Amino acid sequence: MFKDNLLSWHIAGLQAFKSAVDQGIPYAQKAKSAAKNEQLEVAATVLETILTTQSATIVGFLLEAQAEVNFTQDVIMEGILIGQDLMVEAGKDLETVDFAYLSGGKVAMNYYMNAFISHAELAEKLGLLAQAAGLKKMGFEHQEMLNQYTKIIETDFYPKLTAKG
């Protein structure tokens, strides 16, 4: 009984992840369109591709579990995106807006990374080894994107804080 309940919980988690990545796609598109910083534009393009691929992968996991894809908003990602919008609105110039997209993106990457990797552990214990591997891969993709966003901030933005002029 407990295993059946955890399997249902796993499916609900997959549905939430589908919603979360689908919510992230238009945000990556907005960051790409608004970017003044070329590295942000490239990173947002990569992120959009990753999220699109992950959405399709999660649909496959749901179909494998004979579950329907629901369209309930992932409220955690919804809150993160509201926060990101507030960061962007607070930007007083294009460079600060880029910084806001990068900073907010890092918050989203942390959510995706931790959620996917944590959920992979359960999938593995449920014997869903292909799903576990796929979820771990997704988590590591977001870890790489987090590293990329951090590198852009550290190389293109933080040095300007100590520059003279």
Q: Report whether CATH 1.20.1260.10 matches the domain 2-158.
A: yes
Contact of 97 with 91, CB cutoff 8 Å: yes
What's the rounded Cα separation, in Å, for the pair 148 and 156? Answer: 12
pLDDT of residue 165: 58
Phi then psi for 113, rounded to 5 degrees? Answer: -60, -50
Indicate the pTM of the whole model.
Answer: 0.94
Say whether pLDDT at 163 is over 90. no
Residue range 103-123, pLDDT digits in tens:
999 999 999 999 999 999 999
pLDDT of residue 92: 93
How would residue 164 be classed by pLDDT, with cut points 50, 70 and 90? confident
Residue range 11-56, pLDDT digits in tens:
999 999 999 999 999 999 999 999 999 999 999 999 999 999 999 9
68-78 average pLDDT score? 87
What's the rounded Cα separation, in Å, for the pair 58 and 112? Answer: 13
Contact of 152 with 103, CB cutoff 8 Å: no
123-135 average pLDDT score? 97
1-6 average pLDDT score? 91
Residue range 86-108, pLDDT digits in tens:
999 999 999 999 999 999 999 99
How would residue 69 be classed by pLDDT, with cut points 50, 70 and 90? confident
Say whether pLDDT at 70 is over 90. no
**DSSP readout, 114-127?**
HHHHHHHHHHHHTT
Provide the greatest CA pair distance for the chain.
Answer: 67
Contact of 117 with 81, CB cutoff 8 Å: no
Cβ neighbourhood burial of 51 (10 Å; 0-12, 13-18, 19+): buried
H helices of the chain, where?
Answer: 2-34, 38-64, 75-89, 94-125, 129-152, 159-162
Task: Locate 11 and state its tokens.
Answer: 């499916």
